[in-house]
């Protein structure tokens, strides 16, 4: 058995042998290698920081060996899996805070902390039951924190699969120590992929269940349906629901219910998906009173359309073609009816892609905008499916036209780009300049109308008024052109330096061939796309603005006519005589007490008067939930586009 002294002698002997072989250094060498100034040590004088003991109350400093011990693990004789007694009997010699934190997260230490907590509670007379209760409370709080973190990620549209665990770690580092109870062991925690999906499913159920409960309790509901194809080229159908919750105060609700995968866009496929959804959620289809869609033939087809098939089970259902879609179709078809404008739209799209696909070209355009003093605008994509894209695209080109022409000409001359040369030639034509001016005058009115129709709560009594006002504005514009058309002379002078000459004869020819035909097509399409709807018009019998204040019965023949339409369509509600009897009393209130109120607020008031006017309250509820616009479906698709990306 070797002793420390024998080991030292062996070491000395080895050193002597090495010195004999290599030769001992001379005195001069020793002085050169040992300068007078002592070499600074890289190791701190003391690796242990006393401040650690306040952060980790179980930490003990073994000063004689400059190590660290855990008082909890030592007190309860904890045994780690690897059999080592470091931290328990032998000090940990790696004196760093990272090492302390690793020990604090170990299963051995967490068990010791739990036993120490139980002991403290027992010494205070609270016993093991209170200890378990406190531990259970901590775990419940931690689970609530995990659920809230997941909900926040979902609401902010942040990928949970890659950010949930890091968000929990961030919360822990910010002092949310109760989240440590989520970790039950090295391989047991609440941040696994399976657990994350379970949490999302629970959150989904917590949100969807109250909506479905309220839906089932309502008297009627409407569906808003639309289809799209996502980035993965999968056909998706979104389903939203609108209903009125009467208690404690009438309130209109529009909620997203689900996205359904569809193998194809056939009417029978959509109907099968709807029937499955209704059956799985126990939704009574007899309460379905309204259907809002984009007006595609698969939805509104006379023989096999979705609306037709739904009406076979509920004849009182009202199918509504979304007014925002109707307006978009009216505008797009008006432009397509003029051959030049059809080519004009294609050129704008080509121009957008020309710059969008090249950082060098885009940088060149920005450079010319700075040099020429044009606004720093970005070219916009034009698409018929994006309702406001036309105005944005035209406005962007109008504001940076000089820079755009200069940029295209440079691309054509310096880089010999044939596409740029063709675009520059087209843009410099007087017809193009006039078209930009014309659309800059017309499109803002259509965009204003579109924004009004995209609201969740559209007052359908205002649809005809807004459409008629837009038609009148466009008719006046045919006779008296708008601001940008009147400024063509000034613009011609400014663009003359770019080789553009807009003569008076060119403007006159443009007005005859493009300007007047286009505006007339818009007016005609608005008229054709927004025909009178007898059912919607009949609901206006409850509009206080249409009831004469001095004599509410003055237009009784018209009131009776509208009530007859409602009674004939909604036979399950009441007969005409019952509806007329109630209205004879209600119209006095409409003329005196409800005067000046909006139609929507009036309908809400009538619903609250259900005990007195049950029939008219039912009519009012149906009018409120009819989906005249399905813009909310488009918002779902926008969210889908942000969440489901090419890399997601």
pLDDT digits (tens, 9 = 90+) for 15-42: 444 444 344 454 444 444 444 444 444 4
Contact indicator for 263, 269 with CB cutoff of 8 Å: yes
Average pLDDT of the residues of the chain: 85
- Looking at residue 41, its pLDDT comes to 47
Query: φ, ψ for residue 279 (rounded to 5)?
Result: -70, -45
Any idea which of 76-80, 298-302, 308-312 has the lowest mean pLDDT?
Answer: 76-80
Residue 238, pLDDT > 50, answer yes
The pLDDT tens digits of the residues spanning 446-496 come to: 999 988 888 877 788 888 889 999 999 999 999 899 999 998 888 888 888
Label residue 125 by pLDDT band (50, 70, 90): low
Question: Dihedral of CA 407/411/413/414: which sign?
Answer: positive
**CB of 220 closer than 8 Å to CB of 625:** yes
Task: Give backbone dihedrals phi and psi of 239, rounded to 5 degrees, phi first.
Answer: -125, 120
Residues 33-53: what's their mean pLDDT? Answer: 60
Decide if pLDDT at 363 tops 90: yes
The answer, yes or no, to whether residue 74 has pLDDT greater than 90, is no
Q: Is the pTM of this model over 0.75?
A: no
User: If you search the block for the tokens 């044009």, which residue do you land on?
Assistant: 374
Provide the pLDDT for residue 135: 59
* pLDDT at position 583 over 50: yes
Measured CA to CA, the distance from residue 447 to residue 630 in angstroms comes to 17
* 188 has a pLDDT exceeding 80: no
CB atoms within 10 A of CB 501: 10
- For residues 274-288, average pLDDT: 92
Which residue reads 């995990």 in tokens? 146
Closest CA to 528 of 346, 337, 249, 371: 337
| Torsion angle, alpha carbons of 171, 175, 180, 181, to 10 | -110
Q: CB of 283 within 8 A of CB of 258?
A: no
Decide if pLDDT at 305 tops 50: yes
**Residues pairing with 90 in the sheet:** 86
Q: Quick one: how many helices (H) and strands (E) in the chain?
A: 30, 7
CA distance to 89, 99, 186, per residue, from 73 (Å): 9, 15, 18
Quick one: pLDDT band at residue 136, thresholds 50, 70, 90?
Answer: low
- Percent of the chain past pLDDT 90, that is, above it, reads 49
Does position 176 have pLDDT exceeding 90, yes or no?
A: no
Q: What is the pLDDT of residue 355?
A: 94
Task: Tell me which H or E stretch contains 245.
Answer: strand 235-245
pLDDT tens-digit readout, 521-542: 999 999 998 887 889 999 999 9
Contact 335, 382 (CB under 8 A): no
The three-state secondary structure class of 604 is helix
Cross-strand bridge partners of residue 598: none
- Counted residue by residue, the chain has a size of 648
| 374 against 32, higher pLDDT | 374
Contacts of 337 (CB under 8 A, 6+ apart): 517, 518, 521
Q: Is 612 helix (H, G, I), strand (E, B) or coil?
A: coil
The whole-angstrom distance between residue 386's C-alpha and the CA centroid of its chain comes to 16
Q: Based on C-alpha coordinates, what's the Rg of the chain?
A: 39
- Where does the pLDDT of residue 351 fall: very low under 50, low under 70, confident under 90, or very high at 90 and above? very high
pLDDT at position 648 is 53
Residues 454 and 638 sit within 8 Å (Cβ to Cβ): no
Return the higher-pLDDT residue of 85 and 5: 85
Span 171-180, average pLDDT: 86
CB count in 10 Å sphere of residue 378: 13
Q: Can you list the pairs that 139-146 forms with residues at least 24 positions away whose Cβ atoms lie under 8 Å? A: 139/181, 141/178, 142/178, 142/179, 142/180, 142/181, 142/182, 142/190, 143/182, 143/190, 145/171, 145/176, 145/178, 145/179, 146/179, 146/182, 146/190, 146/199
**Who contacts 44 (Cβ-Cβ below 8 Å, separation ≥6)?**
none
Nearest to 411 by CA among 346, 360, 348, 374: 360
Looking at mean pLDDT, say which of 3-12, 111-120, 339-348 comes out highest: 339-348
Mean pLDDT of 219-241: 90
The dihedral formed by the CA atoms of 521, 525, 526 and 529, expressed in degrees to the nearest 10: 180
Count the Cβ atoms, other than its own, within 10 Å of residue 599: 21
DSSP conformation class of 92: B
CB 272 within 8 A of CB 280: no
CA dist., res. 97 & res. 471, Å (int): 75
Read off the pLDDT of each residue in 287-294 and give the average, rounded to a whole number.
Answer: 93
Give the pLDDT confidence score for residue 249 in this predicted structure: 85
DSSP 8-state symbol, 319: E
For residue 409, what pLDDT band results from cuts at 50, 70 and 90?
very high
Note the pLDDT of residue 586: 94
Of 499 and 256, more confident: 256
């Amino acid at each position: 058995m070797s002793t420390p002294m024998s080991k030292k002698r062996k070491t000395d002997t080895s050193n002597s042998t090495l010195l004999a072989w290599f030769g001992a250094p001379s005195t001069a060498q020793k002085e050169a290698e040992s300068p007078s100034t002592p070499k600074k040590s890289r190791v701190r004088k003391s690796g242990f920081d006393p401040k650690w003991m306040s952060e980790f109350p179980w930490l003990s400093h073994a000063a004689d060996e400059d190590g660290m011990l855990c008082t909890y693990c030592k007190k309860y004789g904890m045994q780690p899996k690897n059999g080592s007694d470091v931290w328990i009997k032998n000090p940990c010699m790696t004196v760093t805070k990272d090492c302390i934190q690793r020990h604090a997260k170990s299963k051995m230490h967490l068990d010791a902390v739990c036993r120490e907590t139980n002991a403290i509670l027992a010494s205070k007379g609270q016993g093991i039951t209170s200890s378990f209760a406190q531990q259970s409370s901590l775990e419940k709080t931690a689970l609530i924190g995990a659920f809230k973190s997941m909900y926040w990620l979902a609401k902010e549209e942040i990928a949970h699969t890659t950010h949930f665990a890091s968000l929990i770690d961030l919360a822990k580092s910010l002092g949310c120590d109760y989240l440590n109870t989520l970790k039950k062991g090295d391989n047991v925690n609440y941040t696994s992929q399976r657990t994350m999906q379970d949490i999302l499913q629970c959150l989904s159920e917590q949100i969807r269940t109250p909506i479905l409960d309220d839906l089932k309790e309502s008297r009627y509901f409407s569906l808003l349906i639309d289809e799209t194809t996502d980035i993965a080229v999968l056909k998706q159908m979104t389903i939203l629901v609108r209903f009125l919750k009467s208690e404690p105060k009438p309130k209109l609700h529009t909620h997203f219910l689900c996205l359904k995968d569809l193998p194809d866009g056939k009417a029978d496929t959509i109907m099968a998906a709807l029937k499955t959804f209704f059956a799985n959620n126990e939704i009574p289809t007899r309460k379905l009173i309204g259907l809002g869609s984009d007006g595609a033939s698969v939805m509104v087809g006379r023989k096999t359309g979705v609306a037709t098939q739904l009406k076979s089970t509920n004849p009182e259902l009202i199918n509504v073609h979304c007014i925002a879609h109707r307006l978009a179709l009216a505008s797009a078809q008006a432009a397509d009816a003029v051959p030049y404008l059809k080519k004009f739209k294609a050129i704008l799209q080509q121009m957008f892609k020309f710059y969008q696909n090249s950082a060098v070209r885009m940088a060149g355009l920005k450079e010319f905008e700075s040099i020429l003093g044009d606004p720093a605008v970005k070219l916009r994509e034009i698409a018929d499916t994006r309702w406001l894209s036309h105005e944005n695209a035209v406005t962007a080109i109008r504001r940076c036209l000089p820079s755009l022409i200069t940029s295209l000409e440079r691309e054509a001359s310096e880089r010999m780009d044939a596409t740029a040369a063709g675009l520059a030639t087209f843009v410099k034509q007087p017809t193009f300049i006039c078209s930009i001016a014309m659309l800059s005058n017309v499109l803002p009115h259509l965009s204003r109308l579109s924004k009004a129709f995209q609201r969740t709560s559209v007052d359908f009594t205002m649809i005809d008024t807004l459409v008629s006002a837009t038609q009148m504005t466009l008719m006046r514009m045919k006779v008296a052109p708008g601001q940008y058309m009147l400024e063509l002379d000034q613009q011609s002078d400014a663009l003359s330096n770019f080789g553009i000459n807009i003569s008076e004869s060119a403007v006159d020819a443009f007005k005859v061939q493009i300007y007047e035909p286009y505006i007339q097509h818009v007016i005609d399409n608005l008229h054709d796309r927004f025909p009178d709807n007898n059912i919607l018009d009949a609901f206006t019998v409850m509009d206080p603005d249409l009831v004469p204040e001095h004599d509410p019965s003055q237009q009784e023949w018209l009131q009776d006519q509208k009530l007859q339409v409602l009674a004939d369509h909604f036979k399950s509600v009441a007969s005409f005589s019952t509806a007329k009897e109630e209205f004879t009393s209600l119209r006095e209130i409409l003329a005196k007490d409800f005067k000046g109120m909006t139609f929507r607020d009036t309908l809400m008031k009538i619903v609250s008067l259900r005990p007195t006017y049950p029939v008219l309250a039912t009519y009012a509820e149906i009018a409120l939930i009819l989906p005249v616009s399905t813009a909310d479906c488009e918002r779902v698709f926008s969210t889908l586009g942000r969440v489901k990306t090419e890399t997601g």
